[in-house]
Structure 1
Amino acid sequence: MALAAENEPLNSPAKANKDPEEHGTKGLEKNMTLFNGVSIIVGCIIGSGIFISPTGIQANAGSVGLSLIVWVLSGIFAAIGAYCYAELGTLIHKSGGDYAYIMEAFGPFLAFVRLWIESIVVRPCTATIVALTFAIYMLKPFFPECDPPAGTTELLAAILLILLTAINCWSVKWASKVQDVFFVAKVFALVLIIATGAYLLLTGKPQYRDSFENIFENTVKDFQTASLAFYSGLFAYQGWNYLNFIVEELQNPERNLPLAIAISCSLCTVIYTLTNVALYTTISPDEMLASPAVAVLFAEKNYGYFAFVMPIFVACSTIGSANGVILTSSRLFYCGAREGQMPQVLTMINKQTKTPIPAVLLTGLLSLFYLFLSNNIYSLINYIQVSYWLAIGAAIAALFYLRKTMPDAPRAVKVNLFFPVVFFIGCMALVFVPIIGAPKDTAIGILIMLSGVPVYLIFIAWKGKPKFFNSIINRLTLFTQKLFLVVDASKEN
């Protein structure tokens, strides 16, 4: 790893607003259109969450009315965050999302802590969970009355992760095509649920409106319990900031980034809310609490012999989500390595495919590693929620800092400060509520976050490393270059 001192953030407005190409590097090509950007955000947001979170939200909200309010408010909260990120993304023209913004505002140490927890734990775990969801739903039609044979779920999940990793190594265009195809498929699945629900409400029997009678009945009175419903809702909207991680590959980012964010967040909020209205036409709140696979239950009650299509649509949804996570996560490694906080081989691309193969492979391998720990993945994701929202809050703090230190820098998007203030307060609430409600999980999450500190001190801050240490790293770098035919992205030859 390179020393952080050699890669200090650029604080001048002129430098901060330049693309890497303007610094003399070729890097990644701008292959992504506005539609690609929308499909990436929607593809990352609409994954397994919409098919899992309804049960969690209903359990903690208590009533149908509050559940629907949570879905809308979670979407609005995510949209506000994405709007704030649009200013950061058009001010700092670097991929890496909040990692790049924290680096620019607060320096290498805090940026590395964010990079560590996001790239080593959060993203690979997310890809693994989505792949497991894919496998469960794909196998369900073949084993409707029992669990599939031991090991088959993990094997199918591993096959999906390997396939998507290979596609992302081969071509950005093919990875984008995968995203586009399954984006259409998953939206079609949800539109089918929405259309069915609308038909039942308009032409069906009164029983389809039962869930909407006394809509706020059984609403929980305890604020702490109700707040947990927002964790399930926000989990379903995760991915709202993923396009910022690949802004360098987006065509005309000043126009397309804010447009993609506005279109995708609005689309997801409408789709999610209407989907849940449709689910309640057929599934009672009590049935929803008893069924973690609400979409399958909905299909079984309404589509008869054609109910098998729903697990297939859910599988399509999860494929797109897993592909989006791998696509954007590999770019996070790429950006960290470019700042000297990850091995430099992760900055290297294959000149023929124009993809950062080492970074993509590392993401895929970490996801496969966590697959072997799948029984603990859900607890692990709970542990890192505090550090996740701390990092998001730090990125918003960077917005305030950059407003002060770079007041005259050109901003294609300049948000009213009311929005980042509201969003920052929300992030802090999401940090402090679990400290009160789940102190043990919070402590473990903080320990996981701080595990990156010794790594930073040894590999980045320690300047007087022995020669053999650097020699080993150089040999590994050269071996990787030969194995995958990758070169420094900044070099022409």
Structure 2
Amino acid sequence: MADEKGQGDAQAVANPVANGKPADDGDDDRVALKPKISLLNGVTIIVGIIIGSGIFISPQIVLKLSGSPGMSLIVWTLCGVFSMVGALCYGELGTMITMSGGDYAYILTAFGPLPAFLLLWVTLVIIRPTAQAVVAMTFGQYILQPFFSLDCPPPDIPIKILAAICITFLTFVNSYSVKWATRVQDFFTAAKVLALIVIIITGIVQLCRGKTENLQNAFEGSSSNVGDIALAMYAGLFAYGGWNYLNYVTEELKDPFRNLPRAIVISVPLVIFIYVSANISYFVAMSPAELLATDAVAVTFGDKLLGVMAWIMPVSVALSTFGGVNGLLLTGSRIYFVGARIGHLPESIAMISINRKTPLPSLVFTCILSLLYLFAQNIGQLINYFSFVTWLATGTSIAGQIYLRYKAPDMARPVKVNIILPIIFLAACIFLTIMGVYAAPVDTLIGAAILLSGVPVYFFGVWWTNKPTWILSAVQSFTIWMQKLLHCVAEEKEE
């Protein structure tokens, strides 16, 4: 943890990047993160992270809870509209507070260092590394799936080896060049969208052939239980997760005032169209009973309609998750970098590679945490602990947006949404958080306990600035060792 830096007022710390000023053009030779991410890159980051494994796997859960194909399609549409409203609100936040770090930056600016640190803590301990590990393991599973039958899944050890290779390789790519990381994101986003287009076109062909029996009486059996519909929304929103991740790299986005909102307006409606269309295709190919009986709907879809080309589906899921891991590494490493730059994590994590101009220590740190979670027996359960934390953090950011409308009305807002949108979105976040507590009280309690465990860590690492000399010397020695090992230095400020 940092020493004196962590004690300062958060608003003063955040001010240089919270006043609506864009990042520099990146043409100087300073050792700093440069704006290299174009509008196209921004679109592929959002689309590539949203479209992970969820659309290939989650439809079963949404259908089971909603009760009918018609109701499940409504749920998918509502989840998309909800995500679009949230993304528009984040468009205002991202152009008003131009610091990278997403929710961490917004909570820091609005509510101060302790709430921001708690988000950073829970993100550090569980959320990001487990998410990356789970998506990487899904990659490993689907790479091996063509060599096994659906009744005989691949063994765990090869899956974890492939997951480790995936995380390590993509860490190298992200460490080598931001441009190469965005090129990887562009390519694999295109691949996964093409795979979904194959599903959509196949479904359209079947509809033209009159295969509509599974969509007749589409609302028969629809659930009238509000709790079930809310949990179906939870599952759908999980598949839409990632619409706010471009906000984690705002400082590296070219012309963020224009490109951040443009990327949002292009990406989220595109994903809504793809998701709803893909689900219609699933229902064309499979009866509700068949869809409920499979844990890998895209693979079953391929087996039923693609014949000898059925192998395309598991490969497509593998490509999709590979791109998802890349996006998570690209955006997730920035929250640690920004947290260390503010003084909430060790100074060494805020260093930048002298040669590559990438946040190398933060990327290596993210990689190591993700690899460690591959050894966990049930990392999926760990993510369940923090479903409510995700919406708590999002809701807190939106509450900060509303609060800053009144606390700092003169703050520059290049993009300004109608105040009704953040109010509606905040109410929905509160509802989703409460439903998470209601549906999984034990998991929520465990998640809350780990969240609150960050309080003593904050007071020891950040608030306590009068640390003994031996602690400060040890931290300084570690920082110097990291600089020599990774050939990196602290970010150089613009003169």
| Class of the TM-score when normalised by the shorter of the 2 chains | over 0.9
Find 1:132's aligned residue among 131, 137, 145: 137
In the alignment, does 2:330 pair up with 1:327?
yes
Deviation at 1:45, TM superposition (A): 0.3
Give the direction of change, closer, same or farther, for the CA distance of 1:14–1:42 in structure 2 (3 Å limit). closer
Does structure 2 retain, via aligned residues, the 8 Å contact 1:194–1:274? yes
Deviation at 1:7, TM superposition (A): 5.8
Kindly report which structure 2 residues correspond to 1:136-215, keeping only aligned pairs within 5 A, or say none: 136-144=141-149, 146-202=152-208, 204-205=209-210, 208-215=211-218
Equivalent residue of 1:151, what SS? helix
Deviation at 1:459, TM superposition (A): 0.5
Deviation at 1:150, TM superposition (A): 4.4
State the distance in 2 between where 1:17 and 1:94 align: 10
CA RMSD of aligned residues (A): 1.8
Deviation at 1:449, TM superposition (A): 1.2
Give the direction of change, closer, same or farther, for the CA distance of 1:460–1:19 in structure 2 (3 Å limit). farther
**Alignment-derived partner of residue 483 in structure 1:** 485
**Alignment-derived partner of residue 318 in structure 1:** 321
Q: Deviations over 1:32-76 (max 9, x none)?
A: 100000000001100111111101101111110110001000011
Give the direction of change, closer, same or farther, for the CA distance of 1:13–1:409 in structure 2 (3 Å limit). farther
Deviation at 1:259, TM superposition (A): 0.4
State the distance in 1 between where 2:375 and 2:71 align: 37
**Alignment-derived partner of residue 435 in structure 1:** 437
In the alignment, does 2:340 pair up with 1:337?
yes
Deviation at 1:119, TM superposition (A): 3.0
Does structure 2 retain, via aligned residues, the 8 Å contact 1:9–1:104? yes
In the alignment, does 2:122 pair up with 1:117?
yes
Deviation at 1:386, TM superposition (A): 1.2
State the distance in 2 between where 1:417 and 1:387 align: 24
Deviation at 1:98, TM superposition (A): 1.2
**Alignment-derived partner of residue 111 in structure 2:** 106
Find 1:354's aligned residue among 351, 354, 357: 357
Deviation at 1:12, TM superposition (A): 6.0
Deviation at 1:437, TM superposition (A): 2.6
Deviation at 1:462, TM superposition (A): 1.2
Deviation at 1:8, TM superposition (A): 2.9
Equivalent residue of 1:251, what SS? coil
Query: Residue type matched to 2:294 in 1?
Result: S
> TM-score, normalised to structure 2's length?
0.95
Equivalent residue of 2:422, what SS? helix
State the distance in 2 between where 1:318 and 1:285 align: 26
State the distance in 2 between where 1:352 and 1:120 align: 30
Query: Residue type matched to 1:29 in 2?
Result: K
Q: Deviations over 1:127-148 (max 9, x none)?
A: 1111111111110111125232
Equivalent residue of 1:240, what SS? coil
Deviation at 1:349, TM superposition (A): 0.6
Query: Residue type matched to 2:201 in 1?
Result: A
Give the direction of change, closer, same or farther, for the CA distance of 1:153–1:477 in structure 2 (3 Å limit). same
Query: Residue type matched to 1:335 in 2?
Result: V
Equivalent residue of 2:492, what SS? coil
**Alignment-derived partner of residue 238 in structure 2:** 235
State the distance in 1 between where 2:148 and 2:402 align: 53
Find 1:381's aligned residue among 383, 386, 390: 383
Kindly report which structure 2 residues correspond to 1:290-301, keeping only aligned pairs within 5 A, or say none: 290-301=293-304
State the distance in 2 between where 1:123 and 1:263 align: 26
Deviation at 1:26, TM superposition (A): 5.6
Query: Residue type matched to 1:308 in 2?
Result: W
Does structure 2 retain, via aligned residues, the 8 Å contact 1:384–1:449? no
Larger mean Cα displacement after TM superposition, 6-15 or 37-46: 6-15
Equivalent residue of 1:391, what SS? helix
State the distance in 2 between where 1:181 and 1:380 align: 31
Larger mean Cα displacement after TM superposition, 188-197 or 4-13: 4-13
State the distance in 2 between where 1:15 and 1:48 align: 34
**Alignment-derived partner of residue 35 in structure 2:** 30
Structure 2 residue runs of 5 or longer lacking an equivalent are none
Equivalent residue of 2:378, what SS? helix
> TM-score, normalised to structure 1's length?
0.96
Does structure 1 retain, via aligned residues, the 8 Å contact 2:136–2:322? yes
Equivalent residue of 2:45, what SS? helix
State the distance in 2 between where 1:277 and 1:15 align: 43
Give the direction of change, closer, same or farther, for the CA distance of 1:200–1:20 in structure 2 (3 Å limit). closer
Deviation at 1:19, TM superposition (A): 5.1
Moved runs in structure 1, 4+ residues, more than 3 A?
Answer: 11-15, 18-22
Q: Deviations over 1:106-133 (max 9, x none)?
A: 1000010111112331111111111111
In the alignment, does 2:231 pair up with 1:225?
no
Does structure 1 retain, via aligned residues, the 8 Å contact 2:143–2:318? yes
Equivalent residue of 2:254, what SS? coil
**Alignment-derived partner of residue 452 in structure 2:** 450
In the alignment, does 2:77 pair up with 1:72?
yes
State the distance in 1 between where 2:102 and 2:289 align: 40
Query: Residue type matched to 1:436 in 2?
Result: Y
Does structure 1 retain, via aligned residues, the 8 Å contact 2:33–2:252? yes
State the distance in 2 between where 1:422 and 1:58 align: 26
Give the direction of change, closer, same or farther, for the CA distance of 1:100–1:150 in structure 2 (3 Å limit). closer
Find 1:421's aligned residue among 405, 412, 423: 423
Equivalent residue of 1:342, what SS? coil
Does structure 2 retain, via aligned residues, the 8 Å contact 1:46–1:236? yes
Does structure 2 retain, via aligned residues, the 8 Å contact 1:57–1:229? yes
Equivalent residue of 1:9, what SS? helix
Deviation at 1:230, TM superposition (A): 0.7
Give the direction of change, closer, same or farther, for the CA distance of 1:20–1:339 in structure 2 (3 Å limit). farther
Deviation at 1:242, TM superposition (A): 0.2
Give the direction of change, closer, same or farther, for the CA distance of 1:220–1:111 in structure 2 (3 Å limit). same
Deviation at 1:388, TM superposition (A): 1.2
Larger mean Cα displacement after TM superposition, 300-309 or 24-33: 24-33
Deviation at 1:379, TM superposition (A): 1.2
